């Protein structure tokens, strides 16, 4: 029966078979490569599965998140306490040096305002004289004192409240 088929058809059929074999070989190579990738992924998954149960991983993650939330709440509460405590700490200190008496010759007298964020604290004044020196402490509440303040003490409290000293360092009592 092959004797009746022309040679050109046989050659053509052989070439078609060769092309089909090459295409089949390419598909087989692609399938082998894909199978190798899947097998690698499967081995990694299997290794993970052996070392840790996914339910355990999920449960431990939920537990850690719960612990972190509790710790965050604790840190927030502690931060609130720290902020409240800081409001009562001295946050502003200003010093004003001046010459209390014209005959002493230098700025050896001073007033110091030590105030917290609520403008509570104390103003300290040291009056230097040739014969003697005196020191005074007056409480300050809300930026004011229930004691009579000198001009220098008012100036240093104002500087502490508003940041800075004007030309107050040249004040003199005559």
Tell whether 103 and 155 lie within a shared domain.
Answer: yes
Yes or no: say if 90 and 116 are a contact pair by the CB < 8 Å rule.
Answer: yes
Residue % of the chain over a pLDDT of 70: 87
Residue 44 forms part of a structural domain: no
Q: Read off the pTM.
A: 0.51
Tell whether 99 and 66 lie within a shared domain.
Answer: no
Tell whether 116 and 154 lie within a shared domain.
Answer: yes
What is the domain range of residue 26? 1-36
For the stretch 62-116, pLDDT in tens is 999 999 999 999 999 999 999 888 877 888 889 999 888 877 667 889 999 999 8
pLDDT value at residue 45: 78
The pLDDT of residue 125 is above 90: yes
Distance CA 106, CA 110 (A): 11
Tell whether 103 and 166 lie within a shared domain.
Answer: yes
Burial of 65 (C-beta count, 10 Å sphere; 0-12/13-18/19+): exposed
Element (H, E) at 127: strand 121-128
pLDDT value at residue 59: 85
How many structural domains compose the chain? Answer: 3
């Amino acid at each position: 029966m092959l004797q009746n088929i022309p040679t050109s058809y046989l050659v053509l059929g052989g070439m078609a078979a060769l092309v089909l074999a090459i295409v089949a070989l390419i598909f087989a190579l692609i399938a082998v490569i894909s199978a190798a990738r899947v097998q690698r992924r499967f081995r990694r998954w299997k290794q993970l599965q052996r070392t840790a149960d996914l339910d355990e991983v999920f449960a431990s993650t939920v537990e850690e998140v719960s612990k972190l939330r509790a710790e965050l709440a604790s840190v927030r509460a502690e931060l609130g306490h720290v902020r409240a405590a800081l409001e009562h700490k001295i946050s502003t200190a200003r010093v004003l040096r001046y010459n209390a008496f014209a005959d002493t010759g230098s700025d050896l007298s001073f007033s110091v305002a030590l105030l917290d964020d609520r403008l509570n604290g104390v103003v300290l004044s040291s009056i230097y004289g040739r014969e003697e020196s005196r020191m005074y402490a007056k409480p300050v509440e809300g930026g004011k004192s229930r004691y009579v303040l000198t001009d220098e003490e008012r100036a240093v409290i104002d500087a502490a409240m508003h940041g800075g000293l004007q030309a107050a360092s040249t004040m003199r009592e005559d």
